[in-house]
Structure 1
Amino acid sequence: MRLFVKILLTYFLILSGHFLYAHEVRPAFLQIQEQSPNSYAILWKVPRTVDKVLNIQPKFENSFTLSETSPPRILEAFVLYSYQLEGEQSIANTKLSIDQLNSTGTDVLVDIQLLNGEHHSFLLRPTQNSILIPETTNKWNVAKTYVILGIEHILMGFDHLLFVLALVIITTGFKTLLKTITAFTLAHSITLSFSALGIANLPGPPVEAVIALSIVFLALEILKIQKGHSSLTSQKPWIVAFAFGLLHGFGFAGALEEIGLPQNEITLALATFNIGVELGQILFVLVVLVLLRLVQAIPPSKEWTKKLVPYAIGSMAVFWLIERISGF
C-alpha cells in the first residue's frame, strides 16, 4: 500500500509539474491613463503562448469610442495593443468589462490613472469580469489585488513550490522548519523588494536556470541524508534556504515586473504582493505536512521507494535547467 501511494504521489508530482510549467498563464494587464479630459491612452497586454493568444478584449460603455493607435507588438509572453479611448464624460462611474474572460483561466489587472490624481487598481477574474469604475481611490482594492496576485503567483510557480517541498523533506523538527521557511521568506522578500524598487537586479534567464539548479541541489541533498550522510544542508537548512532564497526573490521580481506596479502605490502593492506570496507558501507547507503525516502513517515497504520523491524532484528540475539554459 505504501509503495502504491508513493508511486501515485510521484507520478502526480511529475505530471502536475510539467502541466503547471507548460501552461502557466500570467494575468493580462489593462492600463488606462487619462491624457486630457475624457481622453484616455489604453495599453492592453494579453498573455500568449507559442501558438495561441487569449481571445479577450476590454469593453467600455457605448458612450465611449475605442480606436487602435498602433499595430500590435508581439513579445515573448504577451501581445501589446495600444488604443485611444474617447468619451463625452469621465470614465468614473462607468462600467468596464472584459469580453470572453469567463471562458479563460486568467485574471486581468486593471490600472487606471486620472488627471485629478485619482488612481485605481483592481483585479477582474473569470467569475467577475466587470466592474463599475469608482470615483475615488480605494487603497483596500490595491492591497486586495496584490495579495491575490501574490498567492496566485506562488501557487502557480511550481519551481518555487518544488524548492519549498524539498526544504520541508530535508528539515526535521518544527522549530528548525519554522527557522528555515522564515529564512527563505526573508531572503526572497529582500531581493524582490530591491529589484522592484530598482536598487538591484539580475537578468531573468540566468536566474531562472539557477533556480532550477537549486532544486537539483536539494534533491541530491535529500538522497545524501537518506544514506545517513551529514551536510550543511541537513544541519543548518536555514543557511541554504536563505542563500537560494535571494535568487528566488529575483525570480518573483521578474513576474512582478511583467504584472506591473501602480506608480503612486508602489510600497503598498509590493508589501501586499509579498504578503500574498507568504500566505500561498504557508498554505502549501501545511498541505505538504499533512500529506507527509499521512504517508508516514502507512506501514513501511521496500527501502528503494524512499528515493522516488527526490528522483522525481531532481528529474523535473534537470528538465527545467536544460530547457532554460537552451533558451539563453
Structure 2
Amino acid sequence: MKGGLSAWLHGLLMLSCLLLGSVASAHEMSMAEMQVREMAPGEFIWQWTATEKRAASDDLAPAWPDGCTAEMNLLHCGKDGMQGTLSVNGVGKTYSAALVKVYWLDGQSRVYTLTASQPTVHLYGAADDHRGMGEIAWAYTMLGVEHILSGVDHLLFVIGLLFLVGFKRNLLWTITAFTAAHSLTLALSALGWLVLRSPPVEAAIALSIVLVAGEALHQRQTLARRWPALVAFLFGLVHGLGFAGALKEIGLPENHMLVALLTFNVGVEIGQLMTVGAAWALWRVASRWSRVAQARTAALYGIGAVASFWAWSRALAIFA
C-alpha cells in the first residue's frame, strides 16, 4: 500500500511538472478586449482587438442594450444613445474577462470589465461612470481571486513558503509579510508611481521560487530559515509587480480607482488563503503516511525544476 502510494505521488508529480513546464508566463490572465467608438450621436463602430489566442469573436458574443441594433461592426442606438445592460456571452471559458473600452463622442472614454461572476454592466449613454461601488468591488474581487488561482508561479511561491516554514506560528508572520509587500508594490505600480519592464519582473518571480524551494530542501540555519518573514517580504515586493501587470491589462475605473485596487488585492488574498487552507488539509491527510518525507523532497525538486525553466526562458525574454 505504501509503495503504491509513493508511486502514485511520484507519477502525479511528474504529470504536474509536464503540465506546468509548458506555461512560461504562468501568471498571465486571458483577456479579450473590445473597442466601441461613437462616430455620431447614437452611432457606433465596434471591434475585438487582436489577441495571442484565436479571434475573440469565435468564443465571445456581445449582447447590446435594448434599443441598439447591430449590423456587422456597426451599432445603431438612436437618439437615446447606448444605454442599458451590456453583456458578453462566453466570458469565463476561453477568456477570464472581457474589457470593453467605450470612446464617447465628447472625447471621454470608459473601461468596463466583465467576468464570469459579473457578466453584465450598465451603460448610461454617456461617459459618466455611474457603476455602483458594490458592482465594481465585486468584479475586481473576483478578478483578484481568479488571478492568484490561475497564477501558477505565485501559487508555487506560496507553497514553497509552506514547505520552508511548516504549519507553525511564524507562518502567520511570513504570510502577512508577503501580503504587505505585494500589496505595497501592487498599489505603487497600479497608480503609476513605480514602473518596471515585465520580463525582468517575471524572471525575478521565477528565481524567488527557485530560492525558496532550495532553502526548504535543507535544514541549515540560513537567513531564509531564521527570518522567513523578511525573505517573504523582499520577494513579495517583486510578486506585487507581477500582480500589477495583470491589473494593468484589466484597467482601473477612473471614478472608483481606489475601490477597484483595494478589492483586487482582497481577491488575491482570498485566493491565497484558499491555497493555504487546501495545503493544510492535504498535509493533515498526508501526515498519516510514513513516506510523506520522500514525497515532500520530490515535490520541492519538481517545483525547483519548473521554476528554473521559467527563470531561463524569462531571462532570455529580457534580451529578446
TM-score, with normalisation over the residues of structure 2?
A: 0.82
* Cα distance, 1:221–1:19 mapped onto 2, change above 3 Å: same
3-state SS in 2 of match to 1:327? helix
Partner of 2:197: 203
Q: 1:305 to 1:97 in 2, by over 3 A?
A: closer
Q: Note the aligned Cα RMSD (angstroms).
A: 3.1
Q: 1:320 aligns to what?
A: 310
Residue 4 (structure 1) aligned with residue 4 (structure 2): no
Q: 2:18, 2:190 → 1: CA distance?
A: 33
C-alpha distance in structure 2 between counterparts of 1:158 and 1:192, whole Å: 18
Cα distance in 2 for partners of 1:304, 1:271 equals: 41
Q: Which amino acid aligns with 2:233?
A: F
Query: Which of 285-294 and 1-10 deviates more?
Result: 1-10
- Structure 2 residue 268 is matched with structure 1 residue 277: yes
Counterparts of 1:149 and 1:246 in 2: how far apart (Å)? 20
State the alpha-carbon separation in 1 of the partners of residues 289 and 62 from structure 2: 52
What is the CA–CA distance in structure 2 between the aligned matches of 1:122 and 1:59, rounded to whole Å?
A: 14
Stretches (4+) displaced over 6 A: 117-120
Q: Which runs of 5+ in 1 are unaligned?
A: 69-83
Distance 1:58 1:5 in 2: 45
Shift of 1:282: 0.5
**Are the structure 2 counterparts of residues 35 and 239 from structure 1 closer, same or farther at C-alpha, using a change threshold of 3 Å?**
farther
Residues in 1 aligned to 2:157 and 2:230: alpha-carbon distance in whole angstroms: 14
Contact 2:35/2:47, CA 8 A, preserved across alignment: yes
- C-alpha distance in 2 between matches for 1:32 and 1:288: 44
**Structure 1 counterpart SS, 2:217:** helix
Q: Which residue among 170, 173, 185 is the counterpart of 1:176? A: 170
SS across alignment from 2:218: helix
Q: Does residue 290 of structure 1 match 2:281? A: yes
CA-CA distance at 1:145 after TM superposition: 0.7
Higher mean displacement: 277-286 or 256-265: 256-265
Within the alignment, does 1:133 sit opposite 2:122 as a pair? yes
**How far did 1:230 drift?**
1.4
Q: Are residues 271 and 35 of structure 1, via their aligned partners in 2, closer, same or farther at CA, if it must alter by over 3 Å?
A: farther
Change (3 A) 1:273 1:208: same
What is the identity, as a one-letter code, of the residue corresponding to 2:191? L
Q: 1:288 to 1:147 in 2, by over 3 A?
A: same
Q: Distance in 2 between matches of 1:67 and 1:214?
A: 48
- Structure 2 residue 52 is matched with structure 1 residue 48: yes
Following the alignment from structure 1 to structure 2, what is the Cα–Cα distance between the partners of residues 47 and 101?
15
CA shift digits 1:91-129 (9 cap, x unpaired): 212x534355586353324455777x997845243x886
Deviation at 1:290, TM superposition (A): 1.1
2:153 is the alignment partner of 1:159: yes
Summarize the Cα distance change of 1:267–1:25 in structure 2 as closer, same or farther, 3 Å threshold: closer
Whole-angstrom distance in 2 between the partners of 1:237 and 1:92: 52
Which segments of 5 or more consecutive residues in structure 2 lack a partner in the other structure?
125-129
What is the aligned partner in structure 2 of residue 73 from structure 1? none
Kept after mapping to 1: 8 A contact 2:182/2:239? yes
SS of residue in 1 equivalent to 2:83: coil
Question: Displacement, 1:137?
Answer: 2.4
Structure 1 position 172, deviation (Å): 3.2
Structure 2 distance, partners of 1:21, 1:59, is 34
Matched residue of 1:264: which SS? coil
**For this pair of structures, how many residues does the alignment match?**
303
Percent identical among aligned pairs is 35
Alignment counterpart, residue 194 of structure 1, candidates 165, 188, 203? 188
Does the CA-based 8 Å contact 2:113-2:250 persist in structure 1? Answer: no
Q: How far is 1:132 from its partner?
A: 6.8
Task: Give 1:109-128 correspondences, 5 Å limit.
Answer: 109-110=99-100, 121-125=112-116
**1:31–1:278 distance in 2 versus 1, CA, 3 Å:** farther
Alpha-carbon distance, 1:35 to partner: 7.4
Supply the distance in 1 between the matched residues of 2:45 and 2:172 (Cα, whole angstroms): 47
TM-score using structure 1 length? 0.80
Q: Which amino acid aligns with 2:255?
A: N
